[in-house]
């Protein structure tokens, strides 16, 4: 969907494939872009450093917020080294790579920060198409939270989700169309084991990312055409 160019946006930025693609999408749609990155007790600090470096390359403001209390009140294999990582989605419930409340907390904190900056547009890289069973990546959650934030802060936020209905192959196509395919391939950290670029190749996040890239590279024209007027 094409959005009218607006003044300022705040991107919730992890330094991974999805949020990096969203960052460069935002740079096409907004005159001024800021980022907020969260330290939430994740096992690997490499993603925070990746976010810092990519923000510098993009020429945007980088703000790091400490919300490590998330890890102390909810269990996840991404924040607790004693929990073995689920390699496939369980038949019942979420995989243990789900960090309970993460997007709820992130968007709430981002809205408070955005309000202080005079920003009403928030951008997040959640996707219902490739959501791995995480309930806080669903469109219904985002729409509901958007209303709640507006009521809670007496503001008129708009949460943009450019990837909501894209699969990973289409997300790669969007990065390519934005001119940052190589940057996303080499500089981002999507791997659950904290390995930059192509990652470890074995964790669920790497398998999803790499399968999407292979599909895009094999069917470049068709996948790109499916984006319609994304930018």
Using CA atoms, how far apart are residues 111 and 103, in angstroms rounded to an integer?
12
Nearest to 190 by CA among 34, 47, 2, 52: 47
Q: How far apart are CA 222 and CA 167, in angstroms?
A: 13
pLDDT of residue 16: 96
Phi, psi of 154 (to 5 degrees): 50, 50
What one-character-per-residue DSSP string does 139-182 give?
Answer: HHHHHHHHHHHHHHHTS--EEE-TTTT--HHHHHHHHHHTT-HH
pLDDT value of position 73: 73
DSSP structural state of residue 35: E
pLDDT in tens, the chain (231 residues): 454 567 999 999 999 999 999 999 999 999 999 999 999 878 888 999 999 999 999 999 999 999 888 777 777 767 767 777 657 767 677 887 777 788 999 999 999 999 999 999 999 999 998 766 789 999 999 999 999 999 999 999 999 999 999 999 999 999 999 999 999 999 999 998 999 999 999 999 999 999 999 999 999 999 999 997 776
Pairing of strands 61-66, 30-39: parallel
Query: Which ranges constitute the DSSP H helices of 178-228?
Result: 181-187, 204-218, 220-225
Percent composition of the chain: helix, strand, coil (DSSP 3-state, to 5): 45, 15, 45
pLDDT at 1: 44
What are the structural domains of the chain? 6-166 (3.40.50.620)
Distance between CA atoms of residues 60 and 184, nearest Å:
16
pLDDT at position 4, please? 59
Residue 118 pLDDT? 97
Q: CA triplet 125, 36, 76: central angle to 5 degrees? A: 65
pLDDT for res 194: 92
* Cβ contacts of 132 within 8 Å, gap of 6 or more: 89, 95, 97, 98, 204, 208
Q: Model's pTM, two decimal places?
A: 0.92
Query: Strands across the sheet with 158-160, in order?
Result: 61-66, 30-39, 6-12, 121-123, 158-160
Q: Which long-range contacts (CB under 8 A, 24 or more apart) does 220-225 make?
A: 220/173, 220/176, 223/169, 223/170, 223/172, 223/173, 224/173, 224/176, 224/177
CB–CB of 192/155 below 8 Å? no
């Amino acid at each position: 969907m094409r959005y009218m160019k607006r003044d300022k946006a705040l991107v919730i930025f992890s330094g991974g494939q999805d949020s990096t693609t969203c960052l460069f999408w935002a740079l096409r749609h907004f005159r001024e872009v800021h980022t907020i990155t969260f330290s939430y007790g994740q096992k690997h600090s490499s993603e925070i450093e990746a976010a810092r470096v990519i923000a510098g390359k993009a020429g945007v403001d980088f703000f790091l917020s400490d919300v490590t209390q998330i890890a102390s009140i909810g269990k996840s294999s991404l924040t607790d080294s004693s929990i073995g990582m689920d390699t496939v989605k369980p038949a019942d419930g979420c995989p243990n790579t789900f960090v309970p409340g993460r997007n709820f907390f992130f968007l709430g904190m981002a809205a408070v920060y955005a309000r202080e900056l005079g920003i009403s547009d928030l951008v997040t890289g959640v996707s219902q198409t490739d959501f791995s069973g995480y309930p806080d990546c669903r469109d219904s959650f985002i729409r509901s939270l958007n209303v709640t934030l507006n009521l809670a802060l007496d503001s008129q936020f708009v949460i943009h989700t450019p990837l909501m209905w894209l699969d990973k192959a289409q997300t790669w196509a969007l990065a390519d169309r934005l001119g940052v395919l190589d940057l996303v391939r080499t500089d981002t950290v999507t791997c659950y084991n904290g390995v930059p670029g192509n990652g470890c190749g074995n964790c669920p996040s790497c398998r999803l990312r790499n399968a999407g890239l292979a599909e895009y590279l094999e069917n470049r024209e068709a996948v790109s055409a499916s984006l319609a007027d994304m930018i």
